[in-house]
Structure 1
Amino acid sequence: MPQPPSEGGAPAERPGEDRTLRSLGLDGVPREEPLLYPGAWPRESGLLDGDRLLPLDRPAREAWEQEDGRVPVLAIGSNASPAQLRHKMAEFGIDSPVPMVRSRVTGLDVGVSAHVSRMGYVSASPVGAPGTVRELFVLWLDPGQLAVIDASEGVPMAGGNFDRAWLPAPDVRVEPGDGSVLRGTYAYVNRHGVLHDGTGAPRRHPGEQRPLITELLDGSARLRALFGATPEEFCARARADRRLCDRGTRLLAEEGRVTASGLERYVGRGPDGSRTRGRTPSWGPTAPMP
């Protein structure tokens, strides 16, 4: 007889089972080691509970929405890394579990942010891609968790890099694997746009920093003058140097590498169609922006 699910839809840990992030190979934190970006993603849905990733038997959307006021947020880059999520939450003492639901997403792809992150990496951003299908994670965040992730993406800040936008179905179709389709999901849309592939179309993020940064540096003497000739130099110089990152971000635009994500029209609208900037309250946490 199967074990009854615990809170959040996760079954209890089996005796002797080690579900720590380290044991699962998911403990690398891109904020601490930029070349790890976007970090290791789980292979299956799970419930991030402190330093453990527990199995998740069912999406349990109704319970999360009604009992916890949780909302779906699409993880495009390192927000799908349990270790990165844990790092962000721990910074503000948030220890409530985070459901991570592996989902089939149609109409969206993972592009490259047109900004240099003060974390030392070049992050991912969603791009509109009709007909494209990707396997991505949807995080179900309660209000406190949402405020932390908003702050980490710079949403409430005038100089931040991202806006939180509601992507409605059927424009973006999200299937969590239980036979249902979400009515929509939040995602973080880059205010700077995304990098293009040379034809004007958004390029796909390769999922690894080293080849991406190497290509960017090889293609620009001006970028090498700012950040050095290797990915290691790039990360070391960019890390926590806001002015240098801002100069690098401006340079990407000056060199004509930037295009629109195709999702800008969704910024400023909530699930009910009302106008909103999608920002956390002014009293919400403020974290280092990616």
Structure 2
Amino acid sequence: MDDVTDRSLRALGLAEAPREHPLLYPGAWPADSGLLDGECFLPLDRLVHDDRTPVLAIGSNACPGQLRHKMREFGIMSPIPMVKARVAGVDAGVSAHVSRMGYVSASPVSAPDTVRELFVIWLDDEQLTVIDASEGAPVPGGNFDRAWLPAPDVRIDLADGTRLPGAYAYVNRHGVLHDGTGVPRTHPGEREILTELLVGLPRFRELFGVVPEEFCERARADRRLCERGTRLFIEEKLVTASGLERYVAGDARAQHKGSPGTGPSLSPPLM
């Protein structure tokens, strides 16, 4: 078996996309940095790519299968460097919205005392436009704003000793779910969060069923049902701020006209 076959997404367990299998969210992440190139995850020759835009992946954007799925939707097959980083100041919270992809996604939250391993994906202009569209960032009704998280507020250290000056992240416009005390909670995994919500919220259960599989089946592509679920989070007083809202530009859409690299907006697919 040659090296290319050895490093196929399928062989590495990285091929499945949560957009097709919602209960797998956030999907499988690579063990280390690499280059997503078609059906393969190849070694990288460098960790910093100054000609690209760094985006901190909090949820499924760190899953090669999900990235490939998003890019293919727009016919884009160009490689994406994915760099493992040690990140301080940010954690993965729970989005206060129900996605039409059939899951409750992760959203970044301010966590000054937290240090964890996340991925930085380095996107060219075309790829960045696709990811922006997938997060709803260019449109008023979208779920996320793309915001620059600067050092030293957020510290991003790479394996070669480089500390990035910052990176973009997608901040949820709906806020995030809290832990009962008003503090943003962390995302425990899709099956776990759905089970908790379905068991603990009778009105949520009325909308989406009694088990996670039923939630996924009902939520997928049903915009009105997802909107009702999102409103329910507010009505149940489960929503709080992520703590990252201060990094979102006054006119969030303006960032898509500036540097680094943003191409023309695409119509967003289901979010």
The interval holding the TM-score normalised by the smaller chain is: over 0.9
Aligned match for 2:82, one of 88, 100, 103: 100
Q: Secondary structure at the match of 2:8?
A: coil
Q: Does 1:50 find its partner at 2:31?
A: no
Give the 3-state SS of the residue equivalent to 1:288 in structure 2.
Answer: coil
| Counterpart position of 1:19 | 7
| Whole-Å separation in 1 of the counterparts to 2:252 and 2:10 | 42
Matched with 1:72 is: 54
Amino acid at match of 1:46: G
Alpha-carbon contact 1:175-1:181 (below 8 Å) kept: yes
Among residues 165, 172, 177, which one is paired with 2:147 in the alignment?
165
Structure 1 counterpart of 2:124, one-letter code? D
Looking at structure 1, the residues matched to 4 and 134 of structure 2 have their Cα atoms a distance apart, in angstroms, of 35
2:167 to 179, 185, 197: 185
Report percent identity of matched pairs: 67
**SS of match in other structure, 2:81:** strand
Structure having the higher Rg = 1
The separation in 2 between residues aligned to 1:132 and 1:121, in whole angstroms, is: 25
Task: Identify the match of residue 242 of structure 1 among 201, 223, 233.
Answer: 223
Q: How many residues align?
A: 267
| Structure 1 contact 126–188 (Cα < 8 Å) conserved | yes
1:95 offset after TM fit, Å? 1.2
Alignment CA distance shift 1:218-1:16 (3 Å) = closer
Partner amino acid, structure 2, of 1:156: P
Is the counterpart of residue 133 in structure 1 residue 121 in structure 2?
Answer: no
Q: What residue ranges of structure 1 are gaps of 5+ in the alignment?
A: 1-12
User: TM-score, normalising length from structure 2?
Assistant: 0.94
Letter of the structure 1 residue corresponding to residue 175 of structure 2 = G
Q: Secondary structure at the match of 2:210?
A: coil
Higher helix share: 2
Equivalent residue, structure 2, for 1:223: 204
Displacement of 1:97 in angstroms is: 0.6
TM value normalised by structure 1: 0.88
Query: What SS does the corresponding residue of 2:213 show, helix, strand or coil?
Result: helix
Alpha-carbon offset, residue 18 of structure 1: 1.9
Tell me by how many angstroms 1:17 deviates: 4.8
**Contact 1:119 1:238 (8 Å CA) reproduced:** yes
Contact map agreement 1:155 1:278 (CA 8 A) in 2: no
Q: Which residue of 2 aligns with 1:252?
A: 233
Task: From the superposition, tell whether residues 112 and 15 of structure 1 become closer, same or farther in structure 2 (CA, over 3 Å).
Answer: closer
Q: Rate the CA distance shift 1:15–1:154 in 2: closer, same or farther, 3 A.
A: closer
Residues 53 and 222 from structure 1, CA distance in 2 versus in 1: closer, same or farther, beyond 3 angstroms? same
Q: Deviations over 1:124-146 (max 9, x none)?
A: 00000112101000000000000
Structure 2's unaligned 5+ residue stretches are none
After the TM superposition, which of the residue ranges 15-24 and 98-107 deviates more from structure 2? Answer: 15-24
